[in-house]
Amino acid sequence: MKKLITVTIVMMFAGLFLVAAGQQDTNYERGLRNGTGRGAGMAVPGRGNGPGRAAAGGQGGSYGFDSRFTDDLKSVLADADTGSLSQQEAEGLLFMWEEEKLARDVYQELYETWNLPVFRNIAMSEEQHMESVGMLLDAYGLEKAGTGDAGVYEDSGLVSLYADLTARGKTSVVDALKVGALIEDLDIHDLQQNLELTDNDDISILYQNLMKGSRNHLRSFLRQLDREGVEYEAQYISPEYLERILSINQENAVIRDPDYML
Instruction: Give residues with Cβ within 8 angstroms of 172, minimum separation 6.
Output: none
| Residue 29 maps to a domain | no
pLDDT at 130 over 90: yes
Rounded to whole angstroms, the Cα distance separating 248 from 61 reads 12
Instruction: Give residues with Cβ within 8 angstroms of 212, minimum separation 6.
Output: 64, 251, 255, 262
Give the CATH number of the domain where residue 144 resides: 1.20.1260.10
Region 156-182: mean pLDDT is 98
pLDDT at 81 over 90: no
Q: List b or e across 161-191, with b for residues whose CB sees 16 or more CB atoms inside 10 angstroms.
A: bbeebbebbeeebebbbbbbbbbbbbbbbbb
pLDDT at 179 over 70: yes
In 3D, which of 73, 66, 103, 113 has the Cα closest to residue 221?
Answer: 103
Q: What is the pLDDT of residue 78?
A: 82
% of the chain at pLDDT higher than 70: 74
Mean pLDDT, the chain, rounded, equals 80
Region 161-176: mean pLDDT is 98
Q: What is the pLDDT of residue 80?
A: 80
* Number of separate domains in the chain: 1
Other CB atoms within 10 Å distance of the CB of residue 62: 22
| Residue 193 maps to a domain | yes
Rounded to whole angstroms, the Cα distance separating 133 from 222 reads 26
| Residue 7 maps to a domain | no
| Residue 240 maps to a domain | yes
Q: What is the pLDDT of residue 66?
A: 59
Global pTM reads: 0.76
| Residue 17 maps to a domain | no
| Residue 22 maps to a domain | no
Rounded to whole angstroms, the Cα distance separating 40 from 125 reads 23
Q: What is the pLDDT of residue 3?
A: 43
| Residue 243 maps to a domain | yes
| Residue 39 maps to a domain | no
pLDDT tier at 195, thresholds 50, 70, 90: very high
* Tens-digit pLDDT profile for residues 152-165: 999 999 999 999 99
Other CB atoms within 10 Å distance of the CB of residue 31: 17
Please give the residue range of the domain that contains residue 180.
66-262
pLDDT tier at 14, thresholds 50, 70, 90: very low
* Tens-digit pLDDT profile for residues 32-56: 333 333 232 222 233 232 323 333 3
